[in-house]
Amino acid sequence: MSEPITRYKNFINGQFTALTGAEIENYNPSNQRLLSTIPQSNEQEVNHALDCAKDAQLAWGLRPAIERAGFLHKIAQGIRKNASELALCITKEQGKVLSLAEVEVNFTADYLDYMAEWARRIEGEVINSDRAGENIFLFRKPLGVVAGILPWNFPFFLIARKMAPALIMGNTIVIKPSEETPNNCYEFAKIVAESGLPAGVFNVVGGDGGGVGHQLTSDKRVDMISFTGSVDTGSRIMATASQNITKLNLELGGKAPAIVLDDADIDLAVKAITASRVINTGQVCNCAERVYVQPNVADEFISKLKVSMEQVTFGDPLLQDNLDMGPLVNKIGLDKVAKMVETAKIQGAEVITGGHIADLGAGYHYKPTVLANCSNDMEIMNKEIFAPVLPIQIVSDLSEAITIANASDYGLTSSLYTRDISKAMQAVNQLSYGETYINRENFEAMQGFHAGTRKSGIGGADGKHGLYEYSHTHVVYIQA
């Protein structure tokens, strides 16, 4: 018997609003069953959300930050109380395994608490003046209304990554979830509604990118666009934002190089690179996407990686416990990786394991794959794969690896496996990346700073620097 579907409603001005027109259907990627519908919001609804966010902002921004923090703590508590249902909701619509969905939910609650704790630590500056009797003050002020546009890969956490710093700095926000994974965002809104957060401070409008996303990013009432997604969409949003010179924070794609030197702990490198590549079925912006290994250890590394990738378990996460991976999020993603691997084979890549779609009867599954004999002129070494596929290239030394790694369009994440601290420091000094991990898998901390160079984005998230992205600096001169 099929499950009943939920028809979600937009959350605007503290209320779930009536459905007014078209809806978008949402399916489970493990079995293609219909889960829900969300509104394909029309122009009036998006306008209403922006009006309400604008109207609420002044009073919200003038409240002491510690009061704003109180609401974030309440929302974090609500998330913890509903953690199991929320994790299930994410797994159903996105396909990640339940254990990872649980990590995502708990991390989201911790993130809200972490950002709330900045309330008493937001600081301005007092600067000596050249004029007698004058003081110069720098205030950190909210920007106004933030439009948060979300992708589908960590859909629940990314709500908090945008709304928590935005709200603690005194902004209001209108969120548009990805049309692939919107349900968890409406469940988040239910918790917000119960927290008593003032109306208009947090709003959710459903819809597609070209319609609702475009309307949000082209509207004058929006003071900052906080976008996470692909480079192509980021580039389109940048063009749209140029009309109103709207401030941008863009967290885009990656092509993370993992460099394995001949003095590395090979077992550690194999374990960490496998974990990084298969978490969330390889659909993480800072996953290891390509490997550079030195000749002396290449055979050992490749044979151990083959074993490790062949041990990865996958399937429908709601039918089997303790799987390593679920399906890819949609057929577009599956077709994309299948085509990329076929092209790599034609260009000379050797399939060590995998190399094809895994037919489990339902769901978008691709076999964990290792490709050797790759070179930096191949598409697979340059374009984001976003699936459990690892192409490997042999390099003579660290300098060559760094040169090739830096020649990428992307600059989000990089990693290095070595026991030599001077080689680690050479990499840190020469890699042109927003993040570098030494002897560990790629996964960021909330108190760090997540940002990319080149086409991986503009600005960053997390920690103090991520928080201050959601502010502007107001200088005031007071002549006594």
Q: Is residue 384 at the binding interface for ligand NAD, with CB under 6 A as the rule?
A: yes
Q: Is residue 237 at the binding interface for ligand NAD, with CB under 6 A as the rule?
A: yes
Rounded least distance, CB 332 to ligand NAD, Å: 9
> Whole-angstrom Cα distance, residue 204 to residue 15?
10
- List 54, 236, 277, 423, residue binding ligand NAD (CB under 6 A): 236
- List 28, 37, 91, 178, residue binding ligand NAD (CB under 6 A): 178
Cβ neighbours for 295, distance < 8 A, ≥ 6 positions apart:
262, 394, 396
Q: Which residues pair with 292 in a beta bridge?
A: 259, 393
Residue span 113-152 as binding mask against ligand NAD, x where in contact by CB under 6 A, dash where not:
------------------------------------xxxx
Q: Is residue 426 at the binding interface for ligand NAD, with CB under 6 A as the rule?
A: no
3-state DSSP percent of the chain in helix, strand and coil, to 5: 40, 25, 35
Rounded least distance, CB 248 to ligand NAD, Å: 12
Q: Which residues pair with 125 in a beta bridge?
A: 138
Q: Is residue 179 at the binding interface for ligand NAD, with CB under 6 A as the rule?
A: yes
CA 319, chain centre distance (Å): 27
Give Cα separations from 455 to 145, 245, 385, 410 (angstroms). Answer: 25, 19, 16, 5
Task: Report CA torsion sign: 225, 228, 232, 233.
Answer: negative
CA 153, chain centre distance (Å): 7
> Among 45, 180, 251, 289, which one carries the catalytic annotation?
251
> 104 vs 324, which CB is nearer to ligand NAD?
104
Rounded least distance, CB 177 to ligand NAD, Å: 6
- List 95, 144, 213, 368, residue binding ligand NAD (CB under 6 A): 213
Q: With helix as H, strand as E and coil as C, how does 75-107 read?
A: HHHHHHHCHHHHHHHHHHHHCCCHHHHHHHHHH
The answer to whether residues 402 and 433 touch, using CB atoms and an 8 Å cutoff, is no
The answer to whether residues 15 and 204 touch, using CB atoms and an 8 Å cutoff, is no
285 is catalytic: yes
- Residue closest to 405 by CA, chosen among 288, 298, 285: 288
- List 52, 72, 75, 252, residue binding ligand NAD (CB under 6 A): 252
> 102 vs 179, which CB is nearer to ligand NAD?
179
> Whole-angstrom Cα distance, residue 466 to residue 469?
5
Rounded least distance, CB 97 to ligand NAD, Å: 18
Radius of gyration over alpha carbons of the chain, in Å? 23
Amino acid occupying residue 159? I
251 is catalytic: yes
Q: Is residue 40 at the binding interface for ligand NAD, with CB under 6 A as the rule?
A: no
> 40 vs 57, which CB is nearer to ligand NAD?
40
> 95 vs 452, which CB is nearer to ligand NAD?
452
Structure tokens at 62: 């003038």
Q: Is residue 369 at the binding interface for ligand NAD, with CB under 6 A as the rule?
A: no
Cβ neighbours for 473, distance < 8 A, ≥ 6 positions apart:
138, 139, 140, 141
Q: Is residue 282 at the binding interface for ligand NAD, with CB under 6 A as the rule?
A: no
Rounded least distance, CB 74 to ligand NAD, Å: 27
> Among 285, 287, 384, 441, which one carries the catalytic annotation?
285
Rounded least distance, CB 66 to ligand NAD, Å: 29
> Whole-angstrom Cα distance, residue 254 to residue 268?
23
Q: Which residue is nearest to ligand NAD (CB)?
A: 209
Q: Is residue 209 at the binding interface for ligand NAD, with CB under 6 A as the rule?
A: yes
Q: Is residue 285 at the binding interface for ligand NAD, with CB under 6 A as the rule?
A: yes
> 98 vs 285, which CB is nearer to ligand NAD?
285
Give Cα separations from 409 to 237, 273, 405 (angstroms). Answer: 18, 21, 10
Rounded least distance, CB 253 to ligand NAD, Å: 3
| Region of 83-91, 300-308, 341-349, 450-458 interacting with ligand NAD (CB under 6 A) | 450-458
- List 412, 427, 431, 458, residue binding ligand NAD (CB under 6 A): 412
The helices-and-strands tally (H runs, E runs) of the chain is 14, 25
Rounded least distance, CB 411 to ligand NAD, Å: 11
- List 95, 254, 354, 463, residue binding ligand NAD (CB under 6 A): 254
The answer to whether residues 473 and 138 touch, using CB atoms and an 8 Å cutoff, is yes
Q: Is residue 442 at the binding interface for ligand NAD, with CB under 6 A as the rule?
A: no
Cβ neighbours for 151, distance < 8 A, ≥ 6 positions apart:
158, 178, 228, 229, 230
Q: Is residue 255 at the binding interface for ligand NAD, with CB under 6 A as the rule?
A: no
The footprint of ligand NAD (CB under 6 A) covers: 149-153, 176, 178-179, 208-210, 213-214, 217, 228-230, 233, 236-237, 251-254, 285, 384, 412, 450, 452, 457
Residues labelled as active-site residues: 251, 285
